[in-house]
């Protein structure tokens, strides 16, 4: 696991070193550089496979190809054996070297055989062509900035911004999207002119042109003839076991994140069965019962005899890491779970270098309650709007309950977002700010951008309109929420402490398999993850299978009233809000007063504002 960066187009070699230094945390073990008058490549390496011999940049036999690469190729041994049978000579035992030899055989089609997570830059000295590519699900990040005759790229924004030609200008369209989604959806970044390479895409930079192409897309095609639930479960068992076993290959200590939820518990069950050594597992606990899952994690750990490590988290520790997390994120991220994920990663890194995580299960098998609520919302849309508005005004007089997705919070969210199209409604249920919230929050500079909020849905036909209602929402969350929130959170939190996070549910062959599963095996009424629960009957205690979903978060609503109150008030003072005309201090302070008094629950809106202003202080008025 590493961080990569560089440029295409004329630029002095000296510019490579500060770019690589900016991502030292991603690869503390060694640095590598390549430069010629047309291209510069740099790597910061965290050694996981072939610790002693896999240094980068990697070159082929005649030195005509040069590669820097971040990630893991899980099927590299099979690919290597095939390539050796074709006469290719390998100099290292690293997984990355297979990419070079595949390129010799297939050109840009070399991406097809790769099973893994990766972001790569491959320079072809003969054709003078640079290939930039990102894995199918977007597990590993890659940003780029295109300028006349030049392209800058990096695993993180901070690498690009260290180049003297990079421009640091806030993209207000991206900011508006952030306040809706809780993150900046690709292809934009928070900085104008810097983009994220979309998952399953590659860029070709060659004299006279830069082109972007898609090389893969998951298909939600039903299988013909249909199979029974038991047949699907049997194949799911085989495929998931294969994915987990392949991702357990490591030359350094390995463990697993264990929340006690269905996804991570299933991963741990398979890992424990496959490992000849006692498996290390790691979890976070909370003093607040509504957020604490530690008892479930301990149950799974005891069932499989893991060496379990638990860290109990309080508000004081959260406050200590907020500045550090803001600096590592590059972009504002209003997902509060990034904070415990960072602390959990730092905690696990004391013991292991690689962890497996359960990310992806919810987006593949309909694990969120929003999927169950969607059909009822489609029915409720026929209620006259004035009646729901009257009901919402009545509910506003109820005192707010600040628990973990409390009933009044869910009811108000359900009704207030009811009349939007299904895809937009799905985002608005989970995200921070509705259009009505923005009218209260925004200053004049931001109000002009609110008509571009859902622009990402139309870029590159990213939503397949031919899918049924459930699969359309799953496709949406897989390509947006998972790629631009959950995987960003895992990557930044783990790589900030030089910990590699792997995600077995996102093996692309497994994704293709689960995408094609009948919807009744994903969601049946209010029963979610039907297929995974069927599999779990063979592996997990009943208390894990039947437990309610909590989600991995922190008690934001209560902490903003209490231990985080002074931090919040400092960030949301009038001078900060009105800087550059972005926000309306009157509307925001009304939200603050209502939240502090307990009259309204504005946790998500206030948290997203605080996260942005904290980020802005560091990235525009600090030393990032």
Nearest-10 crossing angle of helices 369-380, 469-477: 130
Two structure tokens written together for 559: 């902490």
Per the CB < 8 A criterion, the answer to whether 170 and 613 are in contact is: no
Q: How far is Cα of residue 360 from the mean position of the Cα atoms in its chain?
A: 10
Q: Cα–Cα distance between 265 and 455 in angstroms, integer? A: 37
Catalytic residue, candidates 2, 5, 205, 611: 2
Q: Cα–Cα distance between 268 and 119 in angstroms, integer? A: 27
Per the CB < 8 A criterion, the answer to whether 297 and 259 are in contact is: yes
Q: What are phi and psi of 556, to 5 degrees?
A: -60, -50
Question: Where does residue 493 rank: exposed (0-12), middle (13-18), buried (19+ CB within 10 A)?
Answer: buried
Per the CB < 8 A criterion, the answer to whether 610 and 592 are in contact is: no
End-to-end CA, the chain:
23
Residue 189, CA distances (Å) to 169, 308, 494, 580 in order = 11, 38, 21, 19
Q: Which residues of 441-476 are buried (b: 16+ CB within 10 A; e: fewer)?
A: bbbebbeebbeebbbbbeeeebbeeebeebbbbbbb
Strand partners, 528: 523
Tally Cβ neighbours within 10 Å of residue 127. 13
**What length does the chain have?**
624
Torsion angle in degrees (nearest 10) through CA of 96, 70, 306, 258 = -140
Identify the CA nearest to 330 among candidates 619, 4, 608, 7: 619
Per the CB < 8 A criterion, the answer to whether 495 and 26 are in contact is: yes
Q: Cα–Cα distance between 83 and 366 in angstroms, integer? A: 39
Two structure tokens written together for 12: 């002095």
Give catalytic status of residue 433 as yes or no.
no
Q: Cα–Cα distance between 202 and 129 in angstroms, integer? A: 13
Rounded-to-5 percentages of helix, strand, coil across the chain? 45, 15, 35
Two structure tokens written together for 429: 């249920």
Two structure tokens written together for 549: 């979903």
Residue 18, CA distances (Å) to 12, 131, 141 in order = 12, 22, 19
Q: Cα–Cα distance between 468 and 471 in angstroms, integer? A: 6
Tell me the residue ranges of DSSP E strands in 250-360. 254-257, 280-286, 307-313, 354-356
Identify the CA nearest to 181 among candidates 23, 310, 62, 333: 333
- DSSP-derived letter for residue 152 is E
Residues catalogued as catalytic: 2
């Amino acid at each position: 696991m590493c961080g990569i960066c560089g440029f295409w187009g004329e630029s002095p070699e000296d510019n490579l070193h500060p770019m690589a230094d900016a991502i030292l945390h991603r690869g503390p073990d060694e640095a590598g550089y390549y430069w010629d008058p047309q291209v510069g490549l740099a790597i910061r390496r965290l050694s996981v496979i072939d610790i002693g011999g896999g240094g980068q940049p990697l070159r082929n036999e005649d030195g005509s190809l040069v590669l820097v690469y971040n990630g893991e190729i899980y099927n590299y041994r099979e690919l290597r054996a095939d390539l050796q049978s074709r006469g290719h000579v390998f100099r290292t035992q690293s997984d990355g070297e297979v990419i070079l030899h595949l390129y010799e055989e297939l050109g840009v089609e070399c991406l097809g055989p790769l099973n893994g997570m990766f972001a790569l830059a491959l320079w072809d000295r003969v054709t003078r062509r640079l290939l930039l590519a990102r894995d199918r699900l977007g597990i590993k990040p890659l940003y780029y900035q295109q300028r006349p005759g030049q392209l800058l790229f990096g695993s993180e924004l901070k690498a690009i911004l260290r180049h003297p030609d990079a421009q640091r200008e806030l993209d207000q369209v991206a900011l508006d999207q952030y306040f809706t989604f809780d993150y900046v959806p690709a292809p934009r970044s928070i900085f104008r002119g810097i983009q994220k390479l979309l998952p399953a895409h590659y860029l070709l930079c060659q004299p006279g042109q830069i082109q972007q192409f898609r090389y893969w897309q998951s298909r939600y095609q039903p299988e013909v003839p249909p199979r029974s639930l038991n047949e699907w479960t049997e194949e799911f068992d085989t495929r998931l076991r294969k994915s987990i076993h392949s991702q357990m290959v490591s030359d350094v200590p390995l463990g697993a994140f264990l929340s006690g939820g269905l996804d991570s518990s299933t991963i741990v069950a398979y890992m424990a069965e496959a490992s000849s050594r006692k498996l290390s597992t790691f979890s976070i606990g909370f003093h607040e019962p509504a957020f604490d899952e530690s008892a479930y994690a301990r149950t799974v750990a005891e069932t499989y005899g893991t060496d379990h490590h638990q860290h109990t988290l309080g508000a004081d520790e959260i406050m200590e890491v907020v500045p550090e997390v803001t600096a590592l994120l590059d972009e504002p991220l209003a997902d509060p779970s990034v904070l415990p994920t960072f602390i959990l990663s730092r905690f696990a890194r004391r013991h292991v270098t690689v962890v497996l995580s359960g990310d992806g299960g919810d987006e593949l098998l309909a694990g969120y309650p929003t999927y169950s609520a969607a059909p009822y919302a489609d029915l409720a849309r026929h209620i006259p709007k004035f009646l729901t508005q009257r009901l919402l005004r009545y509910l506003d007089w109820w005192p707010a309950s600040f628990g973990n997705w409390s009933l009044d919070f869910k009811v108000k969210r359900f009704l207030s977002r009811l009349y939007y199209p299904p895809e937009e409604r799905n985002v608005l249920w989970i995200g921070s700010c509705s259009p009505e919230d923005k009218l209260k929050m925004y200053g004049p500079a931001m109000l002009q951008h609110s008509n571009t909020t859902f622009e990402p849905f139309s870029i590159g036909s990213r939503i397949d309109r031919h899918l049924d209602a459930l699969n359309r929402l799953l496709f949406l969350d897989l390509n947006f929420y998972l790629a631009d929130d959950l995987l960003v959170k895992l990557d930044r939190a783990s790589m900030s402490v030089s910990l590699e996070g792997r995600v077995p549910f996102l093996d692309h062959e497994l994704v293709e398999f689960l995408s094609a599963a009948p919807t009744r095996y994903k969601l049946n009424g209010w029963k979610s993850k039907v297929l995974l629960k069927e599999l779990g009957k063979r592996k997990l205690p009943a208390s894990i299978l039947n437990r309610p979903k909590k989600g991995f978060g922190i008690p934001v609503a209560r902490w903003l009233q209490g231990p985080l109150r002074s931090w919040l008030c400092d960030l949301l003072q009038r001078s900060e809000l009105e800087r550059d005309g972005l926000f309306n201090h009157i509307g925001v302070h009304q939200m603050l007063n209502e939240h502090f008094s307990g009259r309204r629950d504005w946790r998500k809106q206030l948290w997203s504002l605080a996260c942005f202003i904290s980020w802005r202080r560091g990235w525009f008025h600090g030393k990032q």
